[in-house]
Amino acid sequence: MVLVNDLREIEALTFDVFGTVVDWRTSIIREGQALRKRLGLDTDWAALADAWRAGYRPAMDRVRAGELPWTRIDDLHRMILDDLVEPFALQSLGEGELWNLNRVWHRLQPWPDVVGGLRRLKRHYVIASLSNGNVSLLTNMAKFADLPWDCVLSAELAGTYKTDPEVYRTACRLLDLSPARVMMVAAHERDVLAAKGVGMRTAYVHRPLEYGPEAEAPEVDTSPFDLVVDDLAGLADALDAW
Amino acid sequence: MVLVNDLREIEALTFDVFGTVVDWRTSIIREGQALRKRLGLDTDWAALADAWRAGYRPAMDRVRAGELPWTRIDDLHRMILDDLVEPFALQSLGEGELWNLNRVWHRLQPWPDVVGGLRRLKRHYVIASLSNGNVSLLTNMAKFADLPWDCVLSAELAGTYKTDPEVYRTACRLLDLSPARVMMVAAHERDVLAAKGVGMRTAYVHRPLEYGPEAEAPEVDTSPFDLVVDDLAGLADALDAW
């Protein structure tokens, strides 16, 4: 933990989005159930959500490794979805419906603490997304979910994906702040560690429900992080943002 | 003028900021007068604001021409200000005061129609800045002036300045929209023409007071533009955004 004096230097907070700010799993299940009703599909949407998300890191790894040229998350999501059409028996979906289903990632619901927490934090800090989602995805999501970002920052602006240090450095450069004045907020150990690696302040958020009520919460050594909180209200409390 | 059907295709509006959204001249004069009271400076702040702004395009031209490497507006503003210290007898200002004065560009006041107009437009469109101001400047200004951008776009993200077509193309790419679905809104003919050149929709805003009450309004051939309006309320009216 840092001393209060160090935390006083913070001017901006950057947030991981998928899992930290929005509950992608429940959102996808909910849209899937609406689709099931309308089209009579007998799909296990929880399993589909998990399989879709499981394809996410390997797809980004291919970009980071240079095996794929720079490719937006929207297009990676679509590549993964295309591979799930057969196993999940989605063949009756037309191109327009698949396109729209892929855009579910623009329409994710925030965790219940998020909008209120961000509003409190925004009074004292610059608050920005710092997600692997592309700028347009994050912009549409902010509109949909009422996320009051001061600016939308994305790995897309660095042309590579987290946890490449260049993503965090690009964010600090665009905010015109030294990394010590920016706190990365995320529910994923690798993300927070990578931010710490470039000198940013760090807050780890517990999101035990990210992978569903039956998944085991990850075991994380939180000792390297400046703050460890249960949600964004807890973050606002810890930073004394009223 | 375009047909209403064409305007229905618009999904996003991008806005020039200095002059179109904020009244830089009055804002600088106001801060200068406060400084005059406090420090007893006998500066003609209207003349200083005009001289400062007059240095803006030549400085960007040096970057566009490759004579200077990529340099943010914050740093260009400071270079211009440093040259004005002697002619405007600002020698009594210390480094901290000059730094803070240079940041006046982060604290510009919007024209009276702007916040209400943007709020109406935001209900129907993605609204984004598209300014030569750097991301941090625009982010701070949005916080200061309550500008409800969905995302902050800047020439900085293209690494060159308007009216380089790359700036407009970068904005459309980040919004993931074809130029025909994005309308550039600006009070400056060159800016609107350059946007039109890449295929964007265009709205020209009359801001006859940008250069002060005594300046002559520029003579502009507005016939190439899709919409010509007096302010952002007029733009919302023209786009039927309620």
| In the predicted structure, residue B37 carries a pLDDT above the cut 90 | no
Q: How many CB pairs under 8 A join A and B?
A: 59
Specify whether A132 is located in the same domain as A209: yes
pLDDT digits (tens, 9 = 90+) for A89-99: 999 999 999 99
Distance of alpha carbon B179 from alpha carbon B171, whole angstroms: 9
Domain tally, chain B:
2
Using CB atoms, pick whichever of A138, A152, A175 lies closest to residue B136.
A175
Q: How far is CA A107 from CA A26, A36, A128, A147, B10, in A?
A: 11, 18, 18, 12, 20
- The answer to whether A139 contacts B151, with C-beta atoms less than 8 Å apart, is yes
- The answer to whether B175 contacts A142, with C-beta atoms less than 8 Å apart, is no
Q: Which residue has the higher pLDDT, A110 or B240?
A: A110
**How many percent of chain B have pLDDT more than 70?**
98
pLDDT at A13: 98
Specify whether B15 is located in the same domain as B134: yes
Residue B178 banded pLDDT, cuts 50, 70, 90:
very high
Q: Under a CB-based contact definition with an 8 Å cutoff, are residues B55 and B75 in contact?
A: no
| In the predicted structure, residue B3 carries a pLDDT above the cut 90 | no
Using CB atoms, pick whichever of A138, A150, A156 lies closest to residue B142.
A150
Residues of chain A positioned with their CB less than 8 A from the CB of B134: 174, 176
- The answer to whether B143 contacts A126, with C-beta atoms less than 8 Å apart, is yes
Specify whether B96 is located in the same domain as B29: yes
Distance of alpha carbon B181 from alpha carbon A107, whole angstroms: 21
Specify whether A116 is located in the same domain as A211: yes
Considering only the C-alpha atoms of chain B, give the largest distance between any 2 of them, rounded to a whole number of Å. 59
Least confident of A45-59, A74-88, B36-50, B146-160: B36-50
pLDDT at B242: 67
Residues of chain B positioned with their CB less than 8 A from the CB of A135: 151, 174-176
Query: What's the CATH code of the domain at B101?
Result: 1.10.150.240
Using CB atoms, pick whichever of B139, B151, B176 lies closest to residue A126.
B139
Query: What's the CATH code of the domain at B167?
Result: 3.40.50.1000
- The answer to whether B136 contacts A177, with C-beta atoms less than 8 Å apart, is yes
Instruction: State which residue of chain A sits closest to B141, comparing Cα positions.
Output: A150
Specify whether A135 is located in the same domain as A213: yes
pLDDT at B5: 54
Specify whether B221 is located in the same domain as B132: yes
Q: Is A150 on the interface with B (CB under 8 A)?
A: yes
pLDDT at A2: 47
Mean pLDDT (chain A, rounded) = 94
In chain A, which stretches have pLDDT less than 50?
A: 1-2
pTM: predicted TM-score of the whole model, two decimal places: 0.95
Q: What is chain A's Cα-based Rg? A: 18
**Of chain A residues 36-75, which have a CB less than 8 A from chain B?**
72, 74
Domain boundary among A78, A106, A134: A106
Q: Is A177 on the interface with B (CB under 8 A)?
A: yes
pLDDT at B2: 47
Distance of alpha carbon B17 from alpha carbon B133, whole angstroms: 8
pLDDT at A144: 97
| In the predicted structure, residue B42 carries a pLDDT above the cut 80 | yes
* φ/ψ (deg, to 5) at B32: -65, -40
Specify whether A133 is located in the same domain as A203: yes
- The answer to whether A151 contacts B150, with C-beta atoms less than 8 Å apart, is no
Least confident of A10-14, A64-68, B19-23, B205-209: A64-68
Domain boundary among A91, A106, A121: A106
Q: Is B172 on the interface with A (CB under 8 A)?
A: no
pLDDT at A36: 83
Instruction: State which residue of chain B sits closest to A147, comparing Cα positions.
Output: B150
Specify whether B121 is located in the same domain as B199: yes
Specify whether B28 is located in the same domain as B126: no
Provide the residue range defining the domain that includes A96: 24-106
- The answer to whether B135 contacts A151, with C-beta atoms less than 8 Å apart, is yes
Mean pLDDT along residues B37-66: 92
Domain boundary among A106, A126, A143: A106
- CA distance to partner chain A, nearest, from residue B175 (Å): 5
Specify whether B171 is located in the same domain as B212: yes
Q: Is A134 on the interface with B (CB under 8 A)?
A: yes
Mean pLDDT (chain B, rounded) = 94
Ramachandran category for residue B221: left, alpha or beta (phi over 0 → left; psi -120 to 50 → alpha)? beta
Specify whether B92 is located in the same domain as B30: yes
Specify whether B29 is located in the same domain as B119: no
